[in-house]
């Protein structure tokens, strides 16, 4: 049984929206309280990658996801990018952790620079100043030197940098299983139980499955 925590989840305009939406689903199914933030660019990407029309207004978004996932009202709260009186904008209203998934290089750079020009950046800045858990899931390739320097800067102060690089040792047979590999790793770091993918040594292929090389 998972202990109920409050998780801030931000969706930005990087490719990889299936990761973010699946993570949202799993957090809600694990009975976590979720603060959801998403950018205008994220709405465009959701439409392109999932044919999913995310509402532009917070209340409409809450109703949409309540029906989409079949969850009770109040478990999910959605805030617009300029909602400066929302709980995530201040360290006095405690969220246990924050995940940006997918995370654009622009958002990552802004967080690394301590910028707070919108609510996503401000919420991440709150996590840093309050020394709470922050996980970024960048989806870009290749990384430039600037990207790598920004990630290194954040990693040195405790931010978890988790690029959306799925493994294949669990022998995925569907796209959903590839997506679930990354979502499972995020849930592991949030200490939220799941059964999305087998863990290493638990049902995955081993060297004994193969013939020796000649």
Per-residue pLDDT of 143-164, as tens digits, reads 999 999 999 999 999 999 999 9
Determine the average pLDDT of the residues in 59-77.
95
CATH class in words for 6-209: alpha beta
Q: Sketch the domain layout of the chain as residue ranges.
A: 6-209
Q: What is the pLDDT of residue 79?
A: 96
Residue in 105, 118, 115 with CA at minimum distance from that of residue 163: 105
Coil vs helix vs strand at 187: helix
For residue 207, is pLDDT > 50? Answer: no
Give tens-digit pLDDT for 26-57.
999 999 999 999 999 999 999 999 999 999 99
In order of 82, 86, 200, 204, the CA distances from 148 in angstroms are 29, 32, 28, 32
Among candidate residues 147, 177, 144, the one with its CA nearest the CA of residue 19: 177
pLDDT of residue 209: 53
Q: CA 181 to CA 207: how far, in whole Å? A: 21
- CA-nearest of 126, 143, 152, 113 to 10 is 126
What is the pLDDT at residue 88?
96
């Amino acid at each position: 049984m998972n202990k109920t925590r409050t998780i801030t989840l931000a969706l930005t305009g990087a490719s990889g929206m299936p990761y973010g939406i699946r993570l949202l689903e799993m957090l809600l199914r694990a009975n976590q309280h979720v603060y959801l933030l998403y950018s205008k660019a994220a709405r465009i990407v959701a439409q392109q990658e999932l044919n999913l029309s995310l509402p532009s207004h917070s209340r409409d978004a809450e109703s949409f996801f309540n029906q989409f996932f079949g969850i009770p009202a109040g478990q999910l709260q959605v805030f617009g990018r300029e909602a400066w009186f929302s709980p995530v904008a201040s360290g006095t209203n405690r969220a246990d952790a924050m995940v940006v998934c997918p995370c654009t290089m622009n958002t990552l750079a802004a967080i690394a620079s301590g910028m707070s020009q919108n609510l996503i950046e401000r919420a991440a800045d709150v996590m840093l100043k309050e020394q709470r858990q922050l996980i970024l899931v960048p989806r870009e390739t290749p990384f430039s030197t600037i990207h790598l320097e920004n990630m290194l800067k954040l990693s040195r102060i405790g931010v978890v940098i988790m690029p959306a690089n799925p493994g294949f040792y669990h022998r995925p047979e569907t796209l959903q299983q590839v997506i679930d590999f990354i979502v499972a790793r995020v849930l592991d770091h949030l200490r939220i139980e799941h059964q999305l993918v087998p863990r290493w040594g638990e049902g995955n292929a081993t060297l004994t499955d193969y013939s020796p090389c000649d």
